[in-house]
Structure 1
Amino acid sequence: MASVPLTAGDPVRVGRYRLLARLGQGGMGRVYLGRSPGGRAVAVKVVREALLWDEGFRLRFAREVEAARRVTGFCTAAVVDADPSGNPAWLATEYVPGLSLQEAVTRHGVWPEQAVRGLGAALAEALAAVHAADLVHRDLKPSNVLLAPDGPRVIDFGISAAAGDTALTETGTVIGTPGFIPPEQLRHEGVGPAGDVFALGAVLAYAAAGVGPFGGGPSQAVNYRVVHENPDLRGLAPALAAVVARCLAKDPRERPAVPWLLNELGHPEPADGDRHTYRGAPAPDGGEESDGGVATAGWMPAPVVDSATRMRDETPTEPMPRAEDGRPEPPADGAPEPPSGTPPRARRRRLRTALATATALAVVVTGVVVWRVSADEEKDDSRPAAPANVEEIWSRSLDEGQTMAMATERAVYLENKERHEITALSVAGGSDRWARRVKASDVSGESDYVKNTVGDDIEITAVSGGLLYYGSGQYLYALDADNGDPLWKHMDDSFHPSPVAVGGAAYAHMNAFFYVLDPRTGDELWKHVFEGLTSDDVSVTGDTLLTHGKKELIAVNTRTRKETWTYEADSEVETAPVAAGGKVYFGTKDGALYAVDAASGDEAWRGTFEGELWDGRLGGGAGGPEVADGNVYFENDGHVSAFDADTGRVLWRKKQKTDEVTSLTVVDDTVLVHDSEGYLSALDADSGKTRWREPVDVDDDADFGIVGNTVFVELNGRLTAYRAAT
């Protein structure tokens, strides 16, 4: 599991464990790499402070800690310590050095059949241990499977529950991750061991194909496919697909039991002491011993084992130094110990960002920045200080429940999901342009799925062609983006697409089709269905709509309403297609940038990353290449590159001081780059030289968005706009 350094807001010690780095975070709290006084590495989950005011949560957490202590087995991470009544409450488990399955597939690609079978056997063994303790995991997914050198471990029992206990879950609450939640749970029909078997099948499909069996996109759309549609298992070998299909049966009674899966996928057989192999998944070289005599799982792909081995070797194991009085030494930087006995501070919400910008002759939700928002919490009015090269324009507090959803060059749009309110602010001064309580679907007469899973909260999905689109219940609504006047609603079966308006038509794209609406009335004009699953990414240039499947870039003529060409890349397409100057540019999972002729679909050129520059992960990135002044700017994790748009010649490449670039935009002669550490950099567009690098949202509870050179930071319930120097 990859780690990042601690920041000023992180504790330095929890219980008897010194915290060394942050491993990740989720809805319940943050997870840290810790070290015991004796040098043992542990993963310490610290509960989010806002939850500690809820006595019901404390009771649930204490009961789940006690239940998790009962889980033992080769393929689980054992609980070693906990304090569910502390401030903060925390849980320490065995530290598993290695990538998550999600990271492994992203970095190194999909797994061969034999490796997937070995993985399935190991996970079945872990579920057997969980179910033997009379528990149900309820959140088995690729990020909760860690791959150590000696095999996988299932982690995160933070939302597990006793198999027969319904009192620990609020009525109507759906817990889990879309695509891995079983249909019976979405229908509120109960949770049992068969639900974990469903999740296991989805995890194996992900390992074999690189995508979940029910595709991606908005959670409502994924949940709908789980309940109503068959899984897509075309990327799996036939024999493996047959096993996975049984796991994914809609009726939990038709799913296989865990012992059957162990026998079918490969039962563990002892080999040379404590090592394990799995029938049907032998080590490639006939052995399993790694350097240092530590057992390895020989069926795992070699690059995954290598990554896990390096992480294991880098794990600190020496005992903590002690001062003369026998107490552990304080941290080297003199950071104070966390106070004891004090009430928890209110933790602010964390926003998630994804950037979509327009380029010449291309429309990708034109000029819009999209924020994904987690649950609202208490807030204070402290404000971030402006860095030297980032000038504050305005700042204003947000109402309770109000969050930023999108911004264009003219307006910032706020939404209050539960109160059904949308507010438009002026980008120039932050003042209200208009505010409106909008319509929301009446779901009282709808199915249980719509009432309990979809609900009637509102969600802004796009601003395009002068309209603001939002979804609620089973409908897509449109407002006039300039004054907030309601225009129409369209039945979209709760999919809530993000329409792209071009030339008097609004193209609403889903995972296997798109339909075209009249933006004046909301009437459906026509519809196009693809043969297989496609991405939600869509661009429209002239008479051509562009989207992509797994490896294919697909062009549809919007006049003839027929597919005109398909181009197949060597790796999975990872970014939205961007059209400019008669070419279409897109990036793939292996880090390559492609240029394809927009009229014929012929490849014009491709740029690849090799040697030290190459990294198989593409990261969240800028969501697509940026085309400006005859150049194409592209990021591959921490690298930013500039290519000649016509020839593909590399103009420059620049490694950033971070592992991942999270957004990239071009303004005049400047490339503005935001990174995963919360810094904004300005690069010279011609040479790639860094002009400046400033912190903008290094506080982990802040978030960032950018339109042109206007930067938005939301922190502590306050939205602040800055202007970046270019």
Structure 2
Amino acid sequence: MGPYRLLARLGQGGMGRVYLGRSPGGRAVAVKVVRDGLLRDEGFRRRFVREVEAARRVTGFFTAAVVDADPEGNPAWLATEYVPGLSLQQAVARHGVWREEAVRGLGAALAEALAAVHAADLVHRDLKPSNVLLAPDGPRVIDFGISAAAGDTALTQTGTVIGTPGFIPPEQLLHASSGPAGDVFALGAVLAYAAAGAGPFGGGAAHAVNYRVVHQDPDLRGLAPALADVVARCLAKDPGERPTVARLLDELGESVAAVGDPWVQQGTPVSEGDVTTAGWMPGPVVDSAARLRAETPTEPLSRAEDDTTQRPSVPAPPRVRHRLRTVLATATALAVTATGAVLWKVAADDDNGPARPPNLERLWTRPLADGQTVAAVSDGMFYLQHEKRHEITALDVTDGSQRWNRRMPVADIRQDEDYLKRLGNDIRVTGVSGGLLYYGSHDHLFAVDADSGDHRWKYMDDSFHASPVVVGDVAYAHMTSFFYVLNTRTGTKLWDYGYGVNADGSNIAVTGDVLLVHSQKKLIAVDTRTRKQTWTHTAASDAVTGLAVADGKVYFGTQDGALYAVDTGSGEEVWRRTFEGELWDGKLGGGAGMPEVVDGTVYFENDGYVSAFDAGTGAPRWQQKQEADEVTSLAMVDDTLLVTDSAGGMSALDPRSGKPGWREPVGGGGDPDFWLVGNVVVTETDGRLIAYRVAT
């Protein structure tokens, strides 16, 4: 990657993967490689360029410096100083809570790190225990990948809350501006974690933690009185009442100076020479960090491993594999997302991919060509696209065999339209419905036969490529403020309808003669025969899920965590169930997931919980808390409810009782990309597709 040879994979998350690399001169670096899907988002690309430029300005003893980057490359990447050490989260879990003197030393170091961040006119915005690495010579604050220039929110989506529950300041949760004082709040929460082994606002569902941050006092009973006083001031609800970073540095620095020379020779020798360490750090933490540094791999991956289309057929020697696992198990604090990463696959795996979990029968594996991505799935089929080459490939999901591969026609670029010229004529698959696969190119929407790849028709849509929903012989193509109807045989436009408001295109559903679409709190119904709006239902909060239709009712979840059932004929609310009772605060909620309706039961997820309700009455049947912080999807396969989560796991639940069965890792961990087609799960890991049949 650039001039760096990759030695091992450190972690994976929603932003991409992080590798341990070696510079030509032998320096160890952490190389963050951004995933292709994000780079297709021009807004993200611009934001990443800005963040890299900002991160280069951050210098200080207790920060992991950016040493190199290519933010506009393909792929884009960022190299930072490699810090061999436990995260604070791992250190507390492994070695226990810290004494007051050590916590104060940690606080002084983190305050100095934040001073360096703020001096560059930045706000970190996600300081937490997993973003504090503990090297033998002291801590390092890492992961400026989601920080933003102070006061600059032009490239940030309105309403987005960046951070981790329990460490996000109340003003940010309430969508007010958050500056350096927000980092002071997070610092106070981190120090409380080090001293007590838990955050000052407890654990559990994200929305419940957020509620306590805004409305309740922190629990500091595990802290010594003097330390509790410092932390309490950092955690003040009013940002103006919190101490500045400079004041904290003065106050905590005096405590560190009182213990004598902060830099001493100590710790168990684990390699040639002594280890220079921070005198106030707990001895077991120093020893673990020193051993980790000694076990850092020094040999690069094989040449075959560098090529994502080729994998070595012979496993790495046992000694190397053991060392890689040691590093990866303890150095994951250089993960790339707010939720961290759970590593399941080391970089030196053989051609057979990860070992088969007992409840997942491996069916096939296939490398993705450079530039090839998963585009869509349908019954029994898996579609790949190559935007630049204008190619679409269809795979049989049961065995991975190629059903067809086609170079697709593209729209001509008109020389008199500067805006359209900039779009180019790359292809982008938008969806599959009614036996047709749709893709956009330049200013046209194209339809091909999903079974054969044969071209059917194209429709000029001025570059606003929809994902049509097919019902019978017509396709409903939704845009922001209207939808149009096409003949599926010819691509001829039949009619269109304007809502009069902006609507969410991801939430369209067609049932019988009714088209349903959401516009924030409103659910709008349009009669497709009379072409008139028939009713509007208004929820208490914005809709955040797709629409599940069954037995004359439409089900959806909202931002405040509620689940709604609305009659599709009249628009009357049949029932509504809130998720977490009185603790729920709609302003703080992370939103709900897509409901699944099967045999008279609605299965619903929010944060790390899965619930079941009677589809007719809304009566609760059961609720289960999952192991991971976030549930990402629900699906009923045969008589098993499959639940996937943000830690890269798949669980099997009994749909009648919610009783958990097995749980297995799927893919590379850390919120991987995967798709469920019937009882086959396909995951993408390190540029390779791996398919498993799920035991049900």
TM-score range, shorter chain: 0.5 to 0.7
Tell me what 1:330 maps to. Answer: 288
Please report how far the alpha carbon of residue 604 of structure 1 lies from its aligned counterpart in structure 2 after TM superposition. 0.8
**What aligned pairs does 1:56-95 form with structure 2 within 5 A after superposition?**
70=57, 81-84=65-68, 89-91=79-81
Aligned counterpart in structure 2 of residue 585 of structure 1, from 551, 555, 575? 555
Please give the per-residue CA displacement for 1:48-68, whole angstroms capped at 9, x wherever unaligned: 3999xxxxxxxxx99998975
Please report how far the alpha carbon of residue 710 of structure 1 lies from its aligned counterpart in structure 2 after TM superposition. 1.2
| 2:546 aligned counterpart, secondary structure | coil
Please give the per-residue CA displacement for 1:606-639, whole angstroms capped at 9, x wherever unaligned: 1112259958677687x52111111111111211
Please report how far the alpha carbon of residue 514 of structure 1 lies from its aligned counterpart in structure 2 after TM superposition. 1.4
**What aligned pairs does 1:188-267 form with structure 2 within 5 A after superposition?**
200-201=153-154, 203=156, 205-206=158-159
| 1:330 aligned counterpart, secondary structure | helix
Counterpart CA distance in 1 for 2:465 and 2:449 is 18
| Contact preservation (8 Å) 2:16, 2:32 | no
Aligned counterpart in structure 2 of residue 534 of structure 1, from 503, 515, 529? 503
**What aligned pairs does 1:8-407 form with structure 2 within 5 A after superposition?**
11=10, 26=15, 46-48=31-33, 70=57, 81-84=65-68, 89-91=79-81, 145-146=125-126, 200-201=153-154, 203=156, 205-206=158-159, 292=231, 294-295=233-234, 322-324=267-269, 326-327=274-275, 328-330=286-288, 337-340=295-298, 342=300, 346=306, 381-407=351-377
For residues 543 and 439 of structure 1, do their structure 2 counterparts lie closer, same or farther at Cα, with a shift above 3 Å needed?
A: same
Please report how far the alpha carbon of residue 425 of structure 1 lies from its aligned counterpart in structure 2 after TM superposition. 1.7
Aligned-pair RMSD on alpha carbons?
5.2
| Contact preservation (8 Å) 2:646, 2:670 | no
Aligned counterpart in structure 1 of residue 605 of structure 2, from 632, 635, 650? 635
Note if 1:555 corresponds to 2:544.
no
Please report how far the alpha carbon of residue 540 of structure 1 lies from its aligned counterpart in structure 2 after TM superposition. 0.5
| Contact preservation (8 Å) 1:547, 1:576 | no
| 1:495 aligned counterpart, secondary structure | coil
| 1:478 aligned counterpart, secondary structure | strand
Comparing 504-513 with 716-725, which one deviates more in the overlay? 716-725
Note if 1:496 corresponds to 2:465.
yes
Please give the per-residue CA displacement for 1:399-433, whole angstroms capped at 9, x wherever unaligned: 33322222222211111111111111222332222
Counterpart CA distance in 2 for 1:723 and 1:399 is 24
Note if 1:514 corresponds to 2:483.
yes
| 2:617 aligned counterpart, secondary structure | coil
**What aligned pairs does 1:589-608 form with structure 2 within 5 A after superposition?**
589-608=559-578
For residues 557 and 91 of structure 1, do their structure 2 counterparts lie closer, same or farther at Cα, with a shift above 3 Å needed?
A: farther
Please report how far the alpha carbon of residue 10 of structure 1 lies from its aligned counterpart in structure 2 after TM superposition. 5.0
Please give the per-residue CA displacement for 1:558-582, whole angstroms capped at 9, x wherever unaligned: 1111111111111111101111111
| 1:441 aligned counterpart, secondary structure | coil
| Contact preservation (8 Å) 2:395, 2:403 | yes
Note if 1:477 corresponds to 2:426.
no
| Contact preservation (8 Å) 2:591, 2:606 | no
Counterpart CA distance in 2 for 1:393 and 1:301 is 59
Counterpart CA distance in 2 for 1:145 and 1:68 is 13
**What aligned pairs does 1:602-617 form with structure 2 within 5 A after superposition?**
602-610=572-580
Q: Partner amino acid for 2:632?
A: T
Tell me what 1:55 maps to. Answer: none
Please give the per-residue CA displacement for 1:151-176, whole angstroms capped at 9, x wherever unaligned: xxxx987799xxxxxxxxxxxxxxxx
Q: Partner amino acid for 1:570?
A: A
Counterpart CA distance in 1 for 2:611 and 2:602 is 8
Counterpart CA distance in 1 for 2:614 and 2:567 is 15
| 1:329 aligned counterpart, secondary structure | helix
Q: Partner amino acid for 1:430?
A: G
| 1:688 aligned counterpart, secondary structure | coil
| 1:589 aligned counterpart, secondary structure | coil
| Contact preservation (8 Å) 1:593, 1:608 | yes
Q: Partner amino acid for 1:89?
A: A
Tell me what 1:673 maps to. Answer: 643
For residues 25 and 632 of structure 1, do their structure 2 counterparts lie closer, same or farther at Cα, with a shift above 3 Å needed?
A: closer
Note if 1:709 corresponds to 2:679.
yes
Q: Partner amino acid for 1:481?
A: A
For residues 615 and 636 of structure 1, do their structure 2 counterparts lie closer, same or farther at Cα, with a shift above 3 Å needed?
A: farther
Q: Partner amino acid for 2:452?
A: N
| Contact preservation (8 Å) 1:705, 1:713 | yes
Please report how far the alpha carbon of residue 69 of structure 1 lies from its aligned counterpart in structure 2 after TM superposition. 5.7
Tell me what 1:459 maps to. Answer: 428
Aligned counterpart in structure 2 of residue 693 of structure 1, from 652, 658, 663? 663
For residues 556 and 28 of structure 1, do their structure 2 counterparts lie closer, same or farther at Cα, with a shift above 3 Å needed?
A: same
The TM-score with structure 2 as length reference comes to: 0.60
Gaps of 5+ in 1: 1-7, 12-21, 32-43, 52-60, 98-125, 132-136, 149-154, 161-179, 181-195, 209-235, 241-261, 269-283, 303-316, 350-376
Please report how far the alpha carbon of residue 334 of structure 1 lies from its aligned counterpart in structure 2 after TM superposition. 7.5
Please report how far the alpha carbon of residue 603 of structure 1 lies from its aligned counterpart in structure 2 after TM superposition. 0.9
Note if 1:420 corresponds to 2:409.
no
For residues 63 and 45 of structure 1, do their structure 2 counterparts lie closer, same or farther at Cα, with a shift above 3 Å needed?
A: farther
Gaps of 5+ in 2: 1-6, 21-28, 37-47, 70-76, 89-115, 129-141, 162-173, 182-213, 216-227, 242-255, 257-261, 276-285, 310-346
Counterpart CA distance in 2 for 1:200 and 1:62 is 15
| 1:538 aligned counterpart, secondary structure | strand
| Contact preservation (8 Å) 1:424, 1:432 | yes
Please give the per-residue CA displacement for 1:426-463, whole angstroms capped at 9, x wherever unaligned: 223322222211012222525333333x2222111111
Please report how far the alpha carbon of residue 694 of structure 1 lies from its aligned counterpart in structure 2 after TM superposition. 1.4
Counterpart CA distance in 2 for 1:655 and 1:23 is 24
Note if 1:657 corresponds to 2:627.
yes
Counterpart CA distance in 1 for 2:420 and 2:152 is 22
Counterpart CA distance in 2 for 1:503 and 1:290 is 68
Counterpart CA distance in 2 for 1:469 and 1:569 is 33
Please give the per-residue CA displacement for 1:527-567, whole angstroms capped at 9, x wherever unaligned: 22222221112110001111111111111111111111111
Q: Partner amino acid for 1:521?
A: T
For residues 77 and 578 of structure 1, do their structure 2 counterparts lie closer, same or farther at Cα, with a shift above 3 Å needed?
A: farther
Counterpart CA distance in 1 for 2:603 and 2:50 is 52
Please report how far the alpha carbon of residue 478 of structure 1 lies from its aligned counterpart in structure 2 after TM superposition. 0.2
| Contact preservation (8 Å) 2:609, 2:631 | yes
For residues 88 and 580 of structure 1, do their structure 2 counterparts lie closer, same or farther at Cα, with a shift above 3 Å needed?
A: closer
Q: Partner amino acid for 2:459?
A: H
| 2:419 aligned counterpart, secondary structure | helix
Tell me what 1:41 maps to. Answer: none
| 1:652 aligned counterpart, secondary structure | strand
Counterpart CA distance in 2 for 1:532 and 1:495 is 17
Please report how far the alpha carbon of residue 705 of structure 1 lies from its aligned counterpart in structure 2 after TM superposition. 0.9
Please report how far the alpha carbon of residue 596 of structure 1 lies from its aligned counterpart in structure 2 after TM superposition. 0.9
Counterpart CA distance in 2 for 1:680 and 1:267 is 39
| 1:200 aligned counterpart, secondary structure | coil
For residues 407 and 336 of structure 1, do their structure 2 counterparts lie closer, same or farther at Cα, with a shift above 3 Å needed?
A: farther
| 1:294 aligned counterpart, secondary structure | helix
Please report how far the alpha carbon of residue 679 of structure 1 lies from its aligned counterpart in structure 2 after TM superposition. 1.3
For residues 461 and 291 of structure 1, do their structure 2 counterparts lie closer, same or farther at Cα, with a shift above 3 Å needed?
A: same
Counterpart CA distance in 2 for 1:158 and 1:388 is 37
| Contact preservation (8 Å) 1:347, 1:379 | no
| Contact preservation (8 Å) 2:648, 2:671 | no
Counterpart CA distance in 2 for 1:266 and 1:89 is 26
Tell me what 1:275 maps to. Answer: none
Q: Partner amino acid for 1:292?
A: V
Q: Partner amino acid for 1:529?
A: G
